[in-house]
Amino acid sequence: MTVAMERIKTFLAAPAKERTLMKPAVKLFGVMPKIELTQEEMRDYAQVLVETEFEIPEWFDEHYKTHELKKPD
């Protein structure tokens, strides 16, 4: 399991503001509520999020600039 997957699993197990990476989104929407998931379900969600190649919309780069977000490497 990758480091990213472990971090996602940790967050899903106990969502906390201190563990968030998208601070502006948390400021707007708050931290997600805790969802009752099994360890297997958390692993599966983490795997999908890490391994899926999401299409990046045209407006994405401008969105980052507008919100002063740091793009992940």
Q: Between residues 66 and 7, which one has the greater pLDDT?
A: 7
What does the pLDDT read at residue 72? 56
C-alpha 43/C-alpha 38 separation (Å) is 9
What CA–CA distances, in Å, run from 9 to 16, 18, 38?
A: 12, 15, 10
pLDDT at 25: 85
The pLDDT of residue 69 is 58
- pLDDT digits over 9-66, tens only? 999 999 999 999 888 889 889 999 999 999 999 999 999 999 999 999 999 888 777 7
Residue among 65, 44, 11, 28 at smallest CA distance from 20: 11
Q: Give pLDDT, residue 70.
A: 60
Sign of the alpha-carbon dihedral angle for 62, 21, 26, 68: negative
